[in-house]
Amino acid sequence: MKKIVISMTMATVVLTVAFAQEKRYGIESAILTKNTVVRAPGAIMEQNISSIQYIAEYGGKESAESFINVQGKMFTIFTMMKDGFVYTANIDAKQGTKVNMASMDDYKAVNYLNLTDEVKEKYNIEEKGNEQFLGKDCKRYELTVTAQGQTAKATILVWQGLPLKSTMTMAGNTMVEEVTEIQEGATIAREKFELPEGINFMEVKPQL
């Protein structure tokens, strides 16, 4: 279950993260509150993850805090994009990694404000009309991505370049991520875009 959650999470990174210095979202700043549920076939319990995403400068700055309950203990996972790297830290364990996504030759990020033919072909992206979600008129996309040797199929609702809801299936498992609240034009504390102190980030190779 843990491996599947990691694979599906990495697939979500590919589908929602771009590292080029380009406009990624149609709004300058926002705070998004999210909830993610992972369901495994035959499992009695579901894995629930709550998170907060911080966006500034139309996506030029972005970070997230995720809160995961593992066997009754809550962990805070910090993720941030900076200078072409994705930094991830387990705040409680004081452990961190960084991934240079530009070092992976086959990596092509998805920018929903500027979907190129190359990216559409790579992930078999098809636009399937519009759908309302949280009162927003979203574009609906269906696509396929491979992460850690597993193929995932996803449906994503996108507004202003922001994925507001995604449903992904992989190896019989289902991950549903939904934005539950959007604070548009939010003023975000500077430290939300700074790496946490006291953590040594070890560079690792991408696993996609």
Give pLDDT tens digits for 123-137.
889 999 999 999 999
Range of lowest pLDDT (39-48, 65-74, 118-127, 195-204): 39-48
Range of lowest pLDDT (10-19, 38-47, 141-150): 10-19
| CATH classification code of 2-194 | 2.50.20.10
What is the total residue count of the chain? 208
Whether 13 has a pLDDT exceeding 60, the answer reads: no
* pLDDT grade for 166, boundaries at 50, 70 and 90: very high
pLDDT, position 104: 57
Mean pLDDT, the chain, whole residue set: 83
pLDDT, position 45: 67
pLDDT, position 201: 92
Give pLDDT tens digits for 37-66.
988 877 666 788 899 999 999 988 899 999
* pLDDT grade for 9, boundaries at 50, 70 and 90: very low
Mean pLDDT calculated for residue range 144-152:
76
* pLDDT grade for 148, boundaries at 50, 70 and 90: low
For the chain, the domains span 2-194
Mean pLDDT calculated for residue range 126-149:
90
pLDDT, position 43: 67
Whether 10 has a pLDDT exceeding 50, the answer reads: no
pLDDT, position 159: 97
pLDDT, position 156: 95
